[in-house]
Amino acid sequence: MKTSYKKISEKLIESLLFVSSMVTSLTVILIVIFLFKEGLSVFNETPVEAGNVIAVNKKNPLSSLSSEQIKNIFDQKITHWNEVAGSKDSILLFRLEDISNYYTDEQIGENFEHLPECISKVVDSIPGILAFFPEKYLSKNFHGKKIEFNKIALKEFFLGKEWFPTAQPAAQLGVLPLILGTLWVSFGAILLALPLGLAAAIYMSEIAKPKVRNVMKPLIELLAGIPSVVYGFFGLVVIVPLIQKLFDLPVGETGLAGSIVLGIMALPTIITISEDAMRNTPRAMKEASLALGASKWQTIYKIVIPYSISGITAGAILGIGRAIGETMAVLMVTGNAAVIPHSILEPMRTIPATIAAELGEAPDGGLHFKALFALGCILFIITLCINLIVEYVSGRKTHKAH
């Protein structure tokens, strides 16, 4: 009876563990599918927000405009149609609020019932006009020519140099500055945190006296529980002025400040996990190495590190993941400038900071909303690639050790 009850209990526990693992795995898969479903939908959109129209005079030979050309026209950087393969006329911009310059309120109508016809007549009467207005005011017998836009292309999205998703009338969705900013800050943090974290772990596990280790380890673990906004304040008050003074910069909010703050934030994770992995190295293996004449440092390098490389890799991946995915601290110390950085001493903007700063303002299901999900997809891919690289390097070291 007891044996039967024990078997039933074991089967029940196994079933619960199986269900738990399946639910966890399925949740992760569904999250990734949802992320990419929302993110990739941005490539089915045009840079002009749905519900708006850009039109020109029907005699204008122009057939298409890029989002960058539209921006330059509305910024008055392009003032003649022949600069964009159009007519020889000067460009006259027309927005909906400009209709009062051509028609009175009585002509437009108390409820704007005549507004579509008025807009159509204005576009038809001015050869060099470029009109931007809501599509609901497009008359059935419109006398102008609508400009058609191609869907957002991968090349335009990834190689574009300007991120301005709320620009009117055409959004600027160039993510290159954000990708470069993320890589600058993340790799700087990794280069700072990995060597220091590994060195601290080696010291605590193999060199430090028990009293020293018993004091240091709780303090380091305590650092992992400090909120990121506190690190951000520390960086803003201490690190940013120091960098500004040390390098004689106009502002101290730079990629280097972000790298230092993220490196500090990643250290507790890397140190704690790596130190635990090193302390699990069998004592017999270390004593055998010393008995064969190896020095203490040779034992650490040839025995301890290769044996605990999987734990060190796990610590590195978790630390790097925190560095790449951090938002608030980076938002506070990097300058938040969406421009292409040429040096780590320049202000820059990362993908997580962009998502955190803009998602609350993006209309649900709109172009801006989908573009931010696409940024999430890029961040996921960057993190995955870095994790695979760390795993590959660790695997090679393990293979050489054997």
The three-state secondary structure class of 48 is: strand
Long-range contacts of 397-402 (CB under 8 A, 24+ apart): 397/306, 397/309, 398/306, 398/309, 398/310, 401/302, 401/306, 401/307, 401/309
Asked if 173 and 42 count as a contact pair (C-beta separation under 8 A), the reply is yes
pLDDT digits (tens, 9 = 90+) for 81-95: 988 888 888 999 999
Q: What is the pLDDT of residue 116?
A: 93
Q: Which amino acid appears at position 59 of this protein?
A: K
User: Which of 121, 154, 187 marks a domain boundary?
Assistant: 154
Residue in the structure block whose two tokens are 């590994």: 198
pLDDT digits (tens, 9 = 90+) for 337-364: 888 988 899 999 999 999 988 988 888 8
Residues 183 and 322 in one domain: yes
| Token pair listed for 336 | 């938040």
Asked if 115 and 137 count as a contact pair (C-beta separation under 8 A), the reply is yes
3-state helix/strand/coil string of 95-128: EHHHHHHCCCHHHHCCCCCCHHHHHHHHHHHCCC
Residues 145 and 186 in one domain: no
Mean of pLDDT values over 255-262 = 93
The three-state secondary structure class of 322 is: helix
| Token pair listed for 388 | 């695979």
pLDDT digits (tens, 9 = 90+) for 10-52: 888 888 988 999 999 999 999 999 999 999 999 998 888 778 8
pLDDT at 400 over 60: no
Residues 63 and 212 in one domain: no
Residues 225 and 342 in one domain: yes
* DSSP one-letter string for 303-320: IIHHHTHHHHHHHHHHHH
Residues 83 and 139 in one domain: yes
Kindly report the number of other CB atoms within 10 A of residue 68's CB atom.
Answer: 18
Q: What is the pLDDT of residue 69?
A: 86
Mean of pLDDT values over 323-327 = 78
Residue in the structure block whose two tokens are 């809501």: 134
Residues 182 and 139 in one domain: no
Q: What is the pLDDT of residue 292?
A: 85
Is 203 contained in some domain? yes
Residues 243 and 192 in one domain: yes
pLDDT digits (tens, 9 = 90+) for 283-293: 888 888 888 88
Is 33 contained in some domain? no
Asked if 189 and 323 count as a contact pair (C-beta separation under 8 A), the reply is yes
302 burial type by CB count under 10 A (0-12 exposed, 13-18 middle, 19+ buried): middle
CATH number of residue 377's parent domain: 1.10.3720.10
User: Which of 154, 187, 203 marks a domain boundary?
Assistant: 154
Residues 324 and 259 in one domain: yes
| Token pair listed for 164 | 């301005």
**Which pLDDT band, with edges at 50, 70 and 90, does 157 fall under?**
very high
Mean of pLDDT values over 222-228 = 84
Is 22 contained in some domain? no
Residues 246 and 370 in one domain: yes
pTM of the model as a whole: 0.84
User: Which of 94, 119, 154 marks a domain boundary?
Assistant: 154
Is 16 contained in some domain? no
Going from the C-alpha of 239 to that of each of 56, 139, 224, 322, 333, the distances in angstroms are: 53, 59, 19, 20, 9
Q: What is the mean pLDDT of the chain?
A: 88
**Which pLDDT band, with edges at 50, 70 and 90, does 323 fall under?**
confident
**Which pLDDT band, with edges at 50, 70 and 90, does 148 fall under?**
confident
Is 337 contained in some domain? yes
Which residues constitute the domain of residue 238? 176-401
Nearest to 267 by CA among 181, 190, 213: 190
| Token pair listed for 288 | 């055998």
Q: Which amino acid appears at position 218 of this protein?
A: P
Residues 188 and 122 in one domain: no
Is 28 contained in some domain? no
Query: What is the tally of structural domains in the chain?
Result: 2
The three-state secondary structure class of 62 is: coil
CATH number of residue 91's parent domain: 3.40.190.10
Prior bond of 169 cis (ω within 30°): yes
Is 180 contained in some domain? yes
Nearest to 84 by CA among 128, 42, 47, 21: 128
Is 305 contained in some domain? yes
Residues 183 and 138 in one domain: no
The pairing of beta strand 144-146 with beta strand 172-173: unpaired
Residues 259 and 309 in one domain: yes
Longest dimension (CA), the chain: 102
Asked if 254 and 346 count as a contact pair (C-beta separation under 8 A), the reply is yes
